[in-house]
Amino acid sequence: MAKVVIVGAGVMGSALTIPLADNGHEINLWGTKYDQEVMRSIRKTRTHPRLGLALPGSLHLFALDELAHSVEEREIILLGVASGGIKSVMEMLGPFLKPGMVIVNVAKGLEEMGDGEIITIPQVIARALPQQLRSHIPVVAIGGPSKAREVAQRVPTSVVFASSSVRAAQRCRKIFTTPRYTVQVTSDVIGVEVGAALKNGYAIALGMCDGLKKREGVETMNNTKSTFFAQAAQEIALLSRMLGGRSATVMGLAGVGDLYVTSAEGRNITLGELIGSGLPAFQALEEMRKRRETVEGYPAIGIGYRLARKFEDSGKLRMKQLPLLGALWSILYQEKPAHEVLFSLRLMA
């Protein structure tokens, strides 16, 4: 039996209590200050309000001032917070971390540092560790097609655990794997993280097709959507290689698989549909804000485009190798009409 603490009561971290409980592990759940309403609901009903599903009865809940107690004697720390909250949570965890612990992270994205350096979320976590612990606490990132509600409903799900410490990833695979939640292991953290981050941005293009078909008065745009899907996979793989990742990773669960499940539904698709139907990007984003929905794909395209420009400046690639990224940049950041840009797009063979 493993001892696990989930830090943050977000949907994915909370959903992972199901496979962990199915394997008989001891699970603590601590919510941040932003999770207190969710925690109150769980205490009262044992149901996560955003998932709409019951959490394991064996789950131990901890109050906001009980972080130290929740982490005590834990071997696995699962970060269940959004990428923007990683640094602050790591600062709070710092005094309670010990050699031998493993940090598992569900948040996805790339972060641009003050000097323009672009790093992955596992790198953000590693840099936030106390200096003396950086070689003693490995970080494992979860990637691949994984909708939280489906995980909590025990829908068969396959994911990728990525870490520079393959031993740590394999250890976590044994802890998390069930007949309905299966895990592959890779050392290609870059490939997994680039795929996880950029698929959100490229999913916006697939959502635009749903909006454009209404504008054009056609029943479907599956030819166009399939073309964009294939192009997105190629462009994500190229950017991954530029950063030191492997194309094979992007062409597997962590890239193509994650892009497919993201393109099925969600906030990125909704934003794309609004823009494709004729709304300028700024109006579509304002509509999403009114709904209190954050769209991860919008900043992902911004970071991806700036990253590509850096590689172009250094002579490593040409922007015309990334035509869909360039098109999305012009639509989202330069307010160009989606129908004009996408219908004139010529993809490279």
* pLDDT of res. 116: 80
349 belongs to a structural domain: no
Cα 26 to the center of its chain, rounded Å: 26
- Same domain as 55, residue 201: no
Domain final position from 136, 166, 187: 187
From first to last of its 349 residues, the chain has per-residue pLDDT tens of 899 999 999 999 999 999 999 999 999 999 999 999 999 999 999 999 999 999 999 999 999 999 999 999 999 999 999 888 999 999 999 999 999 999 999 998 899 888 888 899 999 999 999 999 999 999 999 999 999 999 999 999 999 999 999 999 999 999 999 999 999 999 999 999 999 999 999 999 999 999 999 888 899 999 999 999 999 999 999 999 999 999 999 999 999 999 999 999 899 999 999 999 999 999 999 999 998 888 899 999 999 999 999 999 999 999 999 999 999 999 999 999 999 999 988 775 4
In a shared domain, residues 116 and 205: no
Q: Tell me, what amino acid is at 28?
A: N
Please indicate, yes or no, whether residues 12 and 115 belong to a single structural domain of this protein: yes
Q: What angle do CA 247, 145, 288 make, to 5 degrees?
A: 105
247: in domain: yes
**Residue after which a domain boundary falls, among 187, 214, 247:** 187
On the CB side of 104, how many CA atoms lie within 13 Å of its CA?
Answer: 24
Same-domain pairing of 141 and 259:
no
Tell whether 108 is in a known binding site.
yes
Sort strands 118-120 and 110-112 into parallel, antiparallel or unpaired: antiparallel
CATH number at residue 215: 1.10.1040.10
Please indicate, yes or no, whether residues 139 and 280 belong to a single structural domain of this protein: no
* Whether residue 199 lies in the annotated active site: yes
Q: Which domain holds residue 288?
A: 190-343
13 marked among binding-site residues: yes
In a domain, 113, yes or no: yes
Give the total number of structural domains in the chain: 2
Is residue 73 situated within a structural domain? yes
Q: Which of 44, 87, 98, 199 is catalytic?
A: 199
| Same domain membership, residue 76 and residue 163 | yes
- Is position 128 annotated in a ligand binding site? no
Q: Say whether both 206 and 266 belong to one domain.
A: yes
Query: For residue 169, is it within any domain?
Result: yes
Q: Is 211 annotated in some ligand binding site?
A: no
- Would 262 be classed as within a structural domain? yes
Q: Is 114 annotated as a binding residue?
A: no
Q: Is 11 annotated as a binding residue?
A: yes
174 and 30 in a common domain = yes
In a domain, 348, yes or no: no
Shared domain check, 196 and 165:
no
Structural domain includes residue 140? yes
Same structural domain, 76 and 210:
no
Listed residues 187, 213, 247: the one ending a domain? 187
Do residues 222 and 182 both lie within one domain? no
Say yes or no: 196 and 81 in one domain: no
Report pLDDT for 214: 86
CATH number of the domain within which 52 lies = 3.40.50.720
